[in-house]
Structure 1
Amino acid sequence: METKNIGLRNIPIADTKISLIDGEKGKLIYRGFDVLDLTKNSNFEECCFLLLHDHLPNRIEFNEFTTKLKEARAIPEQMQKNMKNWRKNAHPMDVLQAFVAALAGYYDEQGSEKEISQQRAINLISKVPTIIASWERVRNDKEPIQPDPELSHASNFLYMLTGNKPDKEMERVFDVCLILHADHTFNASTFAAREVASTRAHMYSAVSAAVGALSGELHGGANYEVMKMLLDIKDENNATNWVKSRIEKGDRIMGMGHAVYKTVDPRSMVLKGLSKKLSEKTGLPWYNITKKVEETTSEIMKNRKERDIFPNVDLYSASVYYMLNIPMDLNTPIFAISRVSGWAAHVIEEKFAEAAPKPMLYRPKATYVGKYEGPQGCNYIPIEERK
């Protein structure tokens, strides 16, 4: 009997304490905390600690943790020199994947296996933004900007990227974006990280694999496609006809619909508010165009009585990043700046979970539907005798 490829959807494969998606209620939970509550009251560094340690830090723990993050921000000078050997049009995700893997060759962390994994988690959370900002500078023939220990995680990245320190409002907008993207259970990239970790490979290998999975347009590349759509529409008055034309052709409207959420993606609600705020601040039209795309798509699908469709995290994040002056092809690497905290937490859980102190090697079963023995089998014919 042939087994259809359903992408492991709705098939539980492991327990986790890290995050929960309630698709029916439209909730996302980090270690018991509603992500909407965290975006109102917390910051990205605190959320990283929560994901890694299963509790919110007290003041001493928070100060120690943020100090470690700041001390680990710089990347080796040789790594930045090596970037100059790459072609300038190399995709930022390819650069990121390569240099994440390369970190293993630069650092020799000491301690127990779990302590080493925690050190590598700090290294990755701190250095991924520096790798991305350095590449953006290098490919534009500019010298990389070194991290500023006086700045927050969000503010420091924007500073290293542009050379300008963002105002508090812009800093907070980006900080909230990082919180929203920090984890999302067993998505494709997280599953890739855990699968590699299950072989007992180290943290850098697992996260490099996750970066590779994130690079695909069906996963991390979707908000890039959303921004291309908005630039194509150009004006709010063009949105309705543009959407109708695409749907009539059977094309998908990027940023609409989700594989897990059956109602509104809670992250999209926050990002919608951020997009509106930035549009009002900058005078740019992207929020209004995006809102029109959302409304038109929802109305058409409802009139067809097919299903209700709601915006996902990509619809409004695209315009938010664009209005933060982040180059479009850095949208997916920005995703990685945040999600690396979740990847690291999942790798540690995969390796050291109390219920399973040794990782169970992932080894799914496939149904072979090709040729075998009997009438459908293959007999080897020497190459000289083949027609």
Structure 2
Amino acid sequence: MKEQGDRESTGPVTAHAPARAGRRLSTRETAEALGVKPETVYAYVSRGQLTSRRDPSGRGSTFDAEEVAALARRNRRESSGSPAAAGELAVRTRLTLIEQDRYYFRGVDATELAARHSYEEVAEWLWTGELRPGVTFTAPKASATAARRAVDALPEHSGPLDRLRVAAIAASAADPLRFDLSEGAVLGTARTLIPTLVAALPPVSRSHRDSGPLADRLWARISGRTPDGASLHVLDTALGLLVDHDLAASTLAVRVAASARAHAYAAVSAGLGVVEGPLHGAASALAHRLLLDVLDHGSAAPVIAEELRAGRGIPGLGHRLYTGVDPRARALFALLEGVPQAGPALAAARDIVATSARHTPLHANVDLALAVLTVSFGMSSTAGETVFAVARTAGWIAHALEEYGERPLRMRPSGQYVGAQPPQPLPE
């Protein structure tokens, strides 16, 4: 069935037919202009690359023709194969492969690896290609003390990513050998920096500890509830699933820093700076709040309606790399099914997906799964981004290690100047 907007269609926007100012396109027209499926159009919306507006008839969405044309041009440039578009930024990596709605760490199914091995073991596999059964990471006393002091000096309202960034800088200052970029030295940094970041976070639970599996230590920093084995396994698996995900925005920032031969602490700091964006690591906080609203209302319908009325995308849905359910979300949902206290949040998440499907044919992504985890165990809305950032630190260091083996400063694309042509007169 055609959407209401199709009745007034005058053809899709193409490279040869400039968009008329103010013209609105239906979902079908937008998909044709971009050369994608309609569900991919909504994936662009969920990631902030397109803005949708509900059709006045209520039977579909419309899109600004000029914005669609700009996105089409950008997509063509990125896939043109020209050196400026694809040469320098088509980064070779042996770490993560994403294809056919699955992803792999060094050729091994990542969801199976995270289900069967601890976060630390998954990190070691990503770094070295070897498993180290039973490995745990320990924060040196001097590093942990410096990080805690720095974090304690922050304003009370500081968020977890503020604390993690400051902790990384403090740990760097406490390490006089941080400029050693040899593989052994960087791996040593990795194994101490991650537990230092966790140790620097203020505990929520009185029964916190700084030894044992990293998931156990992190739990006491994000939840005041006493965990059982099942809940700790969910958190540990979430950490393992989030270790890496190809060249996400924060990972690219890390590789740029490593290309300039910034040390591992500085490279991780670059990743932490990017991950705070609402379209990246902080997306789980938006999904967390949405889930709480649905639980408060008892139904997803009024909450989704309000999001659509405000012209916002639905957080926790869609991913540009997957046509179906995000495999990380599928794995976490399966584990949460076995945790009784997760029942209400799981039901609310299903309601969100089903209700949104009437408007946006998108599947759940890992942000919604993290929201179910954080809501189920009484964690704050920022707990998901804490889990994300701590987990992804291992992947960032793996990418930094790869980049240290490449030509220095290769991550230097050329700018495409579109300003006023010289010579221009000197300003008065």
Match of 1:341 in 2: 394
Alignment match of 1:206 (pick from 249, 267, 284) = 267
Report Cα offsets for 1:212-257 as digits up to 9, x if no partner. 1001111001110011112222357421232244335532001111
Structure 1 runs not aligned, ≥5 long: 302-307, 382-387
Is 2:160 the counterpart of 1:92? yes
Once the two structures are TM-superposed, the CA of residue 284 in structure 1 deviates from its matched residue by 5.7
After the TM superposition, which residues 236-251 of structure 1 pair with which residues of structure 2 at under 5 Å, given as runs? 237-251=298-312
CA distance in 1, matches of 2:114, 2:197: 22
> Percent identity of the aligned residues?
26
Match of 1:253 in 2: 314
Once the two structures are TM-superposed, the CA of residue 341 in structure 1 deviates from its matched residue by 0.8
Q: Which has the higher contact order (CA 8 A, sep 6+)?
A: 1
CA distance in 2, matches of 1:360, 1:157: 36
CA distance in 1, matches of 2:182, 2:221: 32
Alignment match of 1:20 (pick from 74, 97, 108) = 97
CA distance in 1, matches of 2:117, 2:170: 32
Report Cα offsets for 1:241-277 as digits up to 9, x if no partner. 3224433553200111112112221111112223433
TM-score by length of 1: 0.81
Match of 1:320 in 2: 373
Alignment match of 2:184 (pick from 79, 92, 115) = 115
SS at match of 1:21: strand
Report Cα offsets for 1:86-138 as digits up to 9, x if no partner. 21001221221122122111013387722221111112222222123x3x55x
Report Cα offsets for 1:299-352 as digits up to 9, x if no partner. 333xxxxxx421111112112122233322232122111111111111001112
Match of 1:82 in 2: 150
Paired residue total? 350
CA distance in 2, matches of 1:112, 1:256: 39
Q: Are the structure 2 counterparts of residues 260 and 160 from structure 1 closer, same or farther at C-alpha, using a change threshold of 3 Å?
A: closer
CA distance in 1, matches of 2:268, 2:209: 24
Q: Are the structure 2 counterparts of residues 20 and 105 from structure 1 closer, same or farther at C-alpha, using a change threshold of 3 Å?
A: same
Structure 1 counterpart of 2:263, one-letter code = H
Q: Are the structure 2 counterparts of residues 196 and 6 from structure 1 closer, same or farther at C-alpha, using a change threshold of 3 Å?
A: farther
Once the two structures are TM-superposed, the CA of residue 28 in structure 1 deviates from its matched residue by 0.9
TM-score by length of 2: 0.74
Q: Are the structure 2 counterparts of residues 204 and 276 from structure 1 closer, same or farther at C-alpha, using a change threshold of 3 Å?
A: same
After the TM superposition, which residues 113-152 of structure 1 pair with which residues of structure 2 at under 5 Å, given as runs? 113-132=182-201, 134=202, 136=203, 145-148=208-211, 151-152=212-213
Q: Are the structure 2 counterparts of residues 7 and 116 from structure 1 closer, same or farther at C-alpha, using a change threshold of 3 Å?
A: farther
Q: Are the structure 2 counterparts of residues 81 and 42 from structure 1 closer, same or farther at C-alpha, using a change threshold of 3 Å?
A: closer
Match of 2:22 in 1: none
Match of 1:50 in 2: 125
Does the aligned pair in 1 maintain the 2:97–2:105 contact within 8 Å?
yes
CA distance in 2, matches of 1:30, 1:362: 23
Q: Are the structure 2 counterparts of residues 153 and 299 from structure 1 closer, same or farther at C-alpha, using a change threshold of 3 Å?
A: same
CA distance in 1, matches of 2:165, 2:412: 24
Match of 1:359 in 2: 408
Higher-helix-fraction structure: 1
Q: Are the structure 2 counterparts of residues 51 and 276 from structure 1 closer, same or farther at C-alpha, using a change threshold of 3 Å?
A: same
CA distance in 2, matches of 1:293, 1:227: 12
Once the two structures are TM-superposed, the CA of residue 282 in structure 1 deviates from its matched residue by 2.0
Alignment match of 2:427 (pick from 370, 374, 380) = 380
Once the two structures are TM-superposed, the CA of residue 359 in structure 1 deviates from its matched residue by 3.4
Alignment match of 1:370 (pick from 419, 422, 425) = 419
Match of 1:298 in 2: 357
**More displaced, 266-275 or 175-184?**
266-275
CA distance in 2, matches of 1:76, 1:82: 10
Once the two structures are TM-superposed, the CA of residue 171 in structure 1 deviates from its matched residue by 1.2
CA distance in 2, matches of 1:18, 1:122: 18
| CA RMSD between the two structures | 2.9
Report Cα offsets for 1:351-385 as digits up to 9, x if no partner. 12xxx3x33431112222222326xx34322xxxx
CA distance in 1, matches of 2:377, 2:78: 35
